[in-house]
Chains A and B, each alone.
Chain A
Amino acid sequence: MPDMDDAALQALRHGSAEDRARLERLAEGDAALRDRLAEWDRQDAALHALYDPVVEEPLPGRLTALLVQPAAPPRRLWPIAAMVAPLVIGVALGWGAARWSGDGGRDTDSLLASAIRAHDTYVVEVVHPVEVPASDEAHMTKWLSKRVGQQLAVPDLTADGFRLVGGRVLPDTRGAAALMMYEDDQGQRLTLYIAPEPRQPETALRFADSGPTRGVWWVEGNLGCAVVGDLPKDRLKAVATRAYDQLTGA
């Protein structure tokens, strides 16, 4: 074989335009080198033939969904949400929640604002409110726990008339967040939203009330949790307390 080893040839082949021109000149007078280069061309062509079809596929919804999630400041998004959602959004609630965000850097959304946005996005979904249905609860729990980074318990809220619909993972400025959706016999839905909150002090249950969407939230351990729904205040508090007891007892 010629005096250059594979590593040196790789450096030229994937180097600058100058390197590649030099390699071409070397190959002109060297049949063995030309064979070697042709073999590498065949390898690259095979890789393209094998894996390029993936590039032509439409992007899966779970990826594009992340890109349409608001990355811009939340305030600009409220009017849009109000236009598209068939519900009246609690604007004042959102503002109150934004104030709550404490040290919140300018691109940090408050936990409750994120929870309300998630609730409003998915509560109107008839066909795909969740990614993993309640019928697959064990898998869902494992998946959500892995993504949020802590073992989660799925609260049983049947005593309050709410059964689990299922769950999904959502992007949050704090990391991956878990959403669990519940529904009662009248089709009234409730969202439990859990996101990592490593820098926040623990809080008691807090209630925010404005417009039809109400929320209760708290921080416990390294997790921030919010229960959001269009429920009477007393009923929402009762459900949130039950969820709180089960999550913190886990």
Chain B
Amino acid sequence: MTFLDEIEACLPSLRRYAFALLRNRDAADDLVQDTLERALSRRHLWRGDGPLRAWLFRILLNRFRDDRRRDRTALSVVGAMIDPPVSGGQDERLDLREVHEAMGRLPADQRAALLLVGLEGMSLAEAARILELPEGTLASRLGRARAELRAMTGRSGPRGERKATET
């Protein structure tokens, strides 16, 4: 596979991740386009000594952080949401909507971390390299994100009651 083929193969998951992170389709594709432009203009910096996917995710997350620093208000706007897919009964549908909303209320760094392992299926080690964090720090962050999500989706007790965060 050529460099461009490999990049193209990563695009669907980059788009999925960007959408889950930003929760707005246009903003997500802007971010992926930005990532792609940056990757193409810096291809000479990629020495092929690691997975291209990790390199692309690292660029994407750096762009995400830069954008947030530059323009916090614009990115905190939650744009048009997708209708969660309907498959099964009312309960399941409600569940997905709840999870989507809860993900939006998670702090961005927790959401970014949880999506790398929970959605993109990366290992703790791979995600830690991408986020440039020690593995222990990432593990704690994931633990907090999971607990928050559980509390917000009403599974750790009465609905809406926020459980104290464990660390």
Chain A residues with a Cβ under 8 A of chain B: 5-11, 14-16, 39-40, 43-44, 46-57, 59-60, 62-64, 66-67, 69, 71, 105, 107, 171-176
A47 and B115 contact, CB distance less than 8 A? yes
Please give me the residue from chain A that is nearest to B40 by CB atom: A171
How far apart sit A175 and B36, CA to CA, in the bound complex (Å)?
11
User: Cβ of B103: which chain A residues have Cβ within 8 Å of it?
Assistant: 47
Chain B 24-63 per-residue mask, 1 if CB under 8 angstroms from chain A, else 0: 0000010011001100110110000000000000000000
Q: How large is the interface on B (under 10, 10 to 19, 20 to 34, 35 or more residues)?
A: 35 or more
Q: A7-B167, A51-B20 are known contacts. Are A171 and B37 too (CB-CB below 8 A)?
A: yes
B48 to chain A, nearest CB (A): 15
**B87 contact from A49, A69, A107, Cβ within 8 A:** A49
A16 to chain B, nearest CB (A): 7
Q: A8-B139, A47-B20, A59-B11 are known contacts. Are A40 and B40 too (CB-CB below 8 A)?
A: no
8 closest Cβ pairs, A-B complex = A6-B143, A7-B143, A10-B142, A14-B124, A11-B139, A46-B99, A7-B140, A54-B16
A86 to chain B, nearest CB (A): 27
B7 and A49 contact, CB distance less than 8 A? no
User: Cβ of B136: which chain A residues have Cβ within 8 Å of it?
Assistant: 7, 11
B12 and A71 contact, CB distance less than 8 A? no
Please give me the residue from chain A that is nearest to B124 by CB atom: A14
Number of A-B residue pairs having CB atoms within 8 Å of each other in the complex = 128
Chain B 88-122 per-residue mask, 1 if CB under 8 angstroms from chain A, else 0: 00000001100110010000000000110111001
B8 and A39 contact, CB distance less than 8 A? no
Give the most central of A8, A11, A56, A174: most B CB within 10 Å. A11
B29 and A62 contact, CB distance less than 8 A? yes
B39 to chain A, nearest CB (A): 9
B133 to chain A, nearest CB (A): 13
**A66 contact from B13, B36, B82, B100, Cβ within 8 A:** B36
How far apart sit A67 and B56, CA to CA, in the bound complex (Å)?
14
B12 and A54 contact, CB distance less than 8 A? yes
If over half of A's interface residues share one DSSP class (helix, strand or loop), that class is named, otherwise mixed; here it is helix
How far apart sit A184 and B35, CA to CA, in the bound complex (Å)?
36
User: Cβ of A11: which chain B residues have Cβ within 8 Å of it?
Assistant: 124, 135-136, 139
Selected A-B contacts with CB under 8 Å, 5 pairs:
A5-B143, A11-B136, A43-B99, A57-B15, A66-B36
B150 and A39 contact, CB distance less than 8 A? yes
A67 and B7 contact, CB distance less than 8 A? yes
**B16 contact from A9, A51, A60, A176, Cβ within 8 A:** A51
B83 to chain A, nearest CB (A): 10
B33 and A66 contact, CB distance less than 8 A? yes
Question: Is B130 at the interface (CB under 8 A from chain A)?
Answer: no
Please give me the residue from chain A that is nearest to B3 by CB atom: A71
Given contact pairs A15-B123, A55-B15, A71-B4, a sample of 6 additional A-B residue pairs in the complex whose CB atoms are under 8 Å apart: A7-B139, A11-B135, A14-B123, A15-B124, A16-B123, A66-B37
A39 and B37 contact, CB distance less than 8 A? no
Please give me the residue from chain A that is nearest to B165 by CB atom: A6
User: Cβ of A66: which chain B residues have Cβ within 8 Å of it?
Assistant: 33, 36-37, 40
A10 and B146 contact, CB distance less than 8 A? yes
A105 to chain B, nearest CB (A): 8
How far apart sit A250 and B68, CA to CA, in the bound complex (Å)?
29
How far apart sit A105 and B115, CA to CA, in the bound complex (Å)?
38
B104 to chain A, nearest CB (A): 11
B84 and A50 contact, CB distance less than 8 A? yes
